[in-house]
Amino acid sequence: MPQAETPEVAGSAPALPQEALKIASGYAFAGPALDLGALLWDGRCLPDAQIRIPLPMLNRHGLVAGATGTGKTKTLQLIAEQLSAQGVPVFLADVKGDVSGISAPGRENDRVHGRAAEVHQEWAPAGFPSEFYALGGMGHGIPVRATITSFGPVLLSKVLQLNQTQEQSLGLIFHYADQKGLELVDLKDLRAVVAFLTSDEGKQELKALGGISTATAGVILRSFTAFEAQGMSPFFGEPEFDTSELLRTASDGRGTVSVLELPAVQDKPQLFSTFLMWLLADLFHDLPEVGDADQPKLVFFFDEAHLLFNDASKAFLDSITQTVRLIRSKGVGVFFVTQTPKDVPADVLAQLGNRVQHALRAFTPDDQKALKSTVKTFPNSAYDLEEVLTGLGTGEAVVTVLSEKGAPTPVAVTRLRAPESLMGPVDAAVLDQAVKSSPLYGRYARAVDRESAYEKLTAREAEAAGRREEEPAARGRTAAPAEEPSVVEQVVGSGVFKSLARSLGTQLGREITRSIFGTAKRRR
């Protein structure tokens, strides 16, 4: 490693080595920036060489990676705190259940003071304005739900692990429901529509749309049944979460930190990773174009990102890539959090301009391969990154970000600052009190089951059956029975339905406009 140093000036601190000085100059930004920590060079921490991220570049996306236990969660907490302080709302996926501490002041101890002294950080304990959410209300937090219609067939197919043919068939079912104004609010609505379309009456309805095989419909129905048996029903329904809630700021101007608690659904990785993608897709629908802004509207941390990409179809990956590429112009920054960069597809990785890479392990041949792949994803470096990445301590990382001009900064090995909020979870009683005192609790806490596709189809089927029973026996013997209109034809043709369709405007009476992921666009 280069050792050349500049001459020292008598009575002053030692000057930075030439290579370190070159790296530090790449992080000397003129505008607002987040402070990550101090440069490490040749085994020494150089606190006068501060490593930072320009605030306007946070919507150019990023990656936080590293092996388990290397400090990724604390890095998220450190960045989230500073974003909140700058007035930028933050979304954090709390997979392990230890991010809730961001709402409470940190605890002073020798380790915190030692780290602060090493990196010249003026550390002071502070909590940040926070809202706590839970998928479907499973866990501590305000329930986050989505309607089946809004979630759409592509994301739902990912959750149900359907193959391409089954996904296309599910899309056909959604298309039919959209056209006929059959609202898909929860799982029983979708199951009712599938059951009807595969019945003797319903098969004729779907012929014009290309048809669906009985075998494929059976697989989809069984997937729904298994999904519900695993306790998934609470995640779909109303009131649906309005993702604009994630853009709120506190009365003092600080950005609200939205923490989505996920420990209760850790054993359902396909569900929570796809739900996070729905949140992003929904934000993409609603936000206007802002171009290059002085600061992001929201920074979204997508934890356990590899779960989103596992077993994903090419079409699904293309949709993720397109969403990540385009959502930047809406003012939203996305940080994917995972163990190695190879967990993220190359087309997505190419969109991630800010990188914080914690230590990697190299115990096996696969580990060695991942290490070499990771090194190749960094720009030219003055360090031996293969050696550095296996020797980093907890709270240390290799960093490169986009400068204010959009160019990559030099690779910098960094000793990271200590978060000022509590590094760990808050007490459950404190968390419950925070949730129930939130103004959003009354809006989302109680599930609502209004009339939708299931109720309409059930009621019309019962009505049709009653009419058939009342037909005079003599009429059946003397004349051929008239063809009974299908249940859906009766629903769509009724005066009540037509009135309802007119009153609901764009949502009923015609096909719902769908987006990149097939999710429904909604009016706020």
pLDDT in tens, 421-453: 999 999 999 999 999 999 999 999 999 999 999
Q: What is the mean pLDDT of the chain?
A: 85
Residue 473: inside a domain, yes or no? no
Q: Do 434 and 294 have their domain in common? A: yes
Residue 386 φ/ψ region, left for φ over 0, alpha for ψ in the -120 to 50 degree band, beta for the rest = alpha
**What pLDDT, on the 0 to 100 scale, is given for residue 226?**
86
Give the mean pLDDT of 274-296: 90
Distance CA 94, CA 98 (A): 7
Q: Do 204 and 293 have their domain in common? A: no
Q: Do 73 and 207 have their domain in common? A: no
Yes or no: say if 235 and 271 are a contact pair by the CB < 8 Å rule: yes
- φ, ψ of residue 430 in degrees (nearest 5): -65, -40
Which among 290, 271, 313, 346 has a CA at the least distance from the CA of 63? 346
**What pLDDT, on the 0 to 100 scale, is given for residue 310?**
84
Q: What is the pTM of this model?
A: 0.85
Say if strands 62-65 and 354-357 run parallel, antiparallel, or are unpaired: parallel
Range name among 158-172, 180-194, 199-213, 433-447 with the lowest pLDDT average: 199-213
Give the mean pLDDT of 457-473: 75
Q: Do 221 and 352 have their domain in common? A: no
- φ, ψ of residue 420 in degrees (nearest 5): -90, -15
CATH code for position 72: 3.40.50.300
Q: Do 168 and 128 have their domain in common? A: no
Confidence of residue 7 (pLDDT cuts 50, 70, 90): very low
Domain count, the chain: 2
**What pLDDT, on the 0 to 100 scale, is given for residue 303?**
86
Domain carrying residue 159:
148-236+447-467+485-507
**What pLDDT, on the 0 to 100 scale, is given for residue 477?**
53
Q: Do 285 and 390 have their domain in common? A: yes
pLDDT tens-place string over residues 65-85: 999 889 999 999 999 999 999
Residue 189, amino acid = D
Give the mean pLDDT of 491-512: 42
Distance CA 384, CA 494 (A): 74
Buried (b) or exposed (e) across 255-277, using 16+ Cβ within 10 A? Answer: bbbbbbbbbbbeebbebbbbbbb
**What pLDDT, on the 0 to 100 scale, is given for residue 318?**
87
Does residue 471 have a pLDDT over 70?
no
Q: Do 222 and 292 have their domain in common? A: no
